[in-house]
A and B are shown apart, each in its own frame.
Chain A
Amino acid sequence: MLGGAAIEVLNLTKRYGNVEALRGVSFSVSEGEVFGLLGPNGAGKTSTVEILEGLRTPDSGSVSVCGLDPQTSGDEFSHIIGAALQSTALPDKMRVREALDLFGSFYPRRRGTPELLKRFGLEEKRNAFYSQLSGGQKQRLALALALVNDPRVVFLDEPTAGLDPQVRREIYDIVEELKKEKKTILLTTHYIEEAEKLCDRVAIVDQGKVIALGTPRELKQRSGAVTRITVRMTKPETNGALCKLEGVTECRAEADDYLLYSTRVPRTIVALVKHLEEQNNELVSLEMSSPSLEDIFIELTGRRLRD
């Protein structure tokens, strides 16, 4: 990253009353990179992003976006960023087309409303009031507004939260497109798949700290190459014998499935089959997967990502 940092975050701290929201967050994002902040609700993702957007001031630490300080750079700063905030709205009686025209009018450099309507699939809704839009449409409009000034850096705070899977996929496609345009994107999410699919690099955030940082692949490799074996059997196991199988480092039950984490997969499988024969039990299904970011999160924090 030789001078190519679009976003620089150094030792951020932020406290709200008794709650320490950020406890020394640092990372940097290169120009053209899609960077994800992944973590559970309340981890400090939004606080970090809103400091970068200039909406909040940190208690200590520093941030810069394209070399600018969000707090002191004024218009110059707001011209180069685009943001889709997490908790925001537009006036109910504002039409889609009007919103794009209005926000476009704030900037000297702007994308045309027809282009944005087309690109975000909002042409049919161009004359609809904001209050008449579905959740997915509102989110697409929010993304369109974030791009209205053709920004260099785009902040997307939980762009897919609360959307159904199909709509979420539409949003992914939009982010993929932005990636091709070499925009620098910082997005926050608590969906693992989103981070894995979209991000060049991911910082896992928990309780106001970055606890792991790297490409999704690096993070997985770093987790000690534990493979997850998901098995389902005709009869439930209750005595914890599965945990004692050779190579198994951790095991737990999840609904009807048992998740075994193994460092020596072939041996574990053999032991598993033997064990089942002894117990007169049968396999219904068996699935193996290399570790996901979710696994890494659990490994790092001992907790699950979803609430």
Chain B
Amino acid sequence: MSRMRLAMRNRAFLFFSLIMPLAFLFIYMGIFGRGKVQAVPYLLAEVLALTVMGSFWGLSVQLVTFREQGILRRFRVTPVGASAMLASSLLSNYVLTLPTIAIEFYLSRQVFNMAGLGDILSIFVLVTVGTVTFASLGLIVASVTNTMQETQIINQIIWFVFLFISGATIPFPMLPGIAQKVALFLPATYLVSGLQRVMSERNTGIMDLGVYLASLVGCALIAFVISAQLFRWEPEAKAPRRAKLLAASAIIPFLLLGIWENLNGDLRNHAMKDLQSIREPYSLERIER
């Protein structure tokens, strides 16, 4: 109950979680999806991914603001613990993301004439897991940075990487080779390509998403545990350098592992091309013309 109530404080972040993704939706659909109903699911997948990834911003900024203003320390003298505090942030963020996702689906169908919906269960699971994953990553940034400025800078850097080297803006197969390799290290890539696969390939069920989900769940778990470990209530408590190393070193090996496996398995690359090919029959002629 208390966690749900905490959701109310998120009012200010509606902008990030609602308006920005919808703007993306209209821009994508308007520019790339015009007159090509077949491309809509693929584009919607990108917008969904952006919506989910937006959790990354909202939560880290919020947590740092709360810490800097001494709001967190007030909660510290109540029976609310660090994990509860973080979990409530994740939950409220998730609850606020769902309506946006629903609106995006609704608009895609009604305004942009999308045909099917894809496998609803798979989409739901990916959105759920993805939201928690990216929100947790945001919490890590909040735990590691000492000031809002630091948070913003680190967020910007990570956000741009997520944005451009994940397939969320530039489709994965169109990325240069090196960028593709880098992309396979990023949780964002798994979210984007997972969603694209569900949306674009028929008969993709939740069983086909094992690797995508495993990487996201793994990332979420590690990120949540680390952020709970590094959680600081007090504005003047600085993150020790060791904490930063811990945060970095805990994410990188996981990513390395997932990537290695995926580079060798080559699963992702194929999936990406599959997804792209769904779109190509319709866009190819335009490109060649």
- A94 to B11 alpha-carbon distance, docked (Å): 9
| Count of A interface residues, CB-CB < 8 Å | 26
Mask: chain B, 61-88; 1 = CB below 8 Å from A; 0 = not:
0000010011101101111100000000
Q: A78-B78, A91-B9, A93-B12 are in contact. Are A102 and B2 (CB under 8 A)?
A: yes
**Least distance between B70 CB and chain A CB atoms (Å):** 4
Instruction: Check if B20 is an interface residue, CB within 8 A of chain A.
Output: no
Q: In chain B, what residue has the closest Cβ to A75?
A: B79
7 further A-B pairs in the complex, CB-CB below 8 A; given A54-B77, A89-B74, A105-B1: A55-B77, A55-B234, A85-B77, A89-B69, A89-B71, A102-B2, A105-B5
Q: Taking each of A54, A74, A78, which has the highest tally of chain B beta carbons within 10 Å of its own beta carbon?
A: A78
Of B1, B5, B73, the contact of A85 (CB 8 Å cutoff): B73
For the complex, give the distance between the alpha carbons of A276 and B80 in Å: 68
Task: Decide if B8 is an interface residue (CB 8 Å cutoff).
Answer: yes
Within 8 A of B (CB), among A91-105: 91-94, 98, 101-103, 105
Interface string of A19-61 (1 = CB under 8 A from B): 0000000000000000000000000000000000111000000
A213, B289: Cα distance in complex, Å: 92
Contact yes or no, A55 B8, CB < 8 A = no
Q: Are B73 and A55 in contact, with the CB atoms below 8 A?
A: yes
**Interface residue A259 (Cβ < 8 Å from any Cβ of B):** no
Residues of A at under 8 Å CB distance from B? 53-55, 74-75, 78-79, 81, 83, 85, 87-94, 98, 101-103, 105-107, 145
Residues of A within 8 A of B77 (CB): 53-55, 78, 81, 83, 85
B interface: dominant SS:
helix
Complex contacts, B12 vs chain A, CB 8 Å = 92-93
Name the contact of A103 in the complex, choosing from B1, B73, B78, B233 (C-beta under 8 A): B78
Chain A residues with CB under 8 Å of B69's CB are 89
B6 an interface residue at 8 Å Cβ cutoff? yes
**A58–B69 Cα gap in the complex (Å)?**
24
Q: Which residues of A contact B74 (CB under 8 A)?
A: 85, 88-90, 145
If A75-B79, A79-B79 touch, whether A98 touches B5 (CB-CB below 8 Å) is yes
**Judging by beta carbons under 8 Å apart, are B71 and A91 in contact?**
yes
Most chain B beta-carbon neighbours within 10 Å: one of A78, A90, A91, A94 = A91
A98 close to B8 (CB less than 8 A): yes
Chain B's closest residue to A74 (CB) is B79
Contacts of A78 in B (CB 8 A): 77-79
Contacts of A55 in B (CB 8 A): 73, 76-77, 233-234
Q: Which residue of A lies closest to B1 (CB)?
A: A105
20 residue pairs from A and B, CB less than 8 Å apart: A55-B73, A55-B77, A55-B233, A75-B79, A78-B78, A79-B79, A81-B77, A85-B74, A87-B70, A87-B73, A88-B74, A89-B70, A89-B71, A102-B6, A102-B8, A103-B78, A105-B2, A105-B5, A106-B79, A107-B78
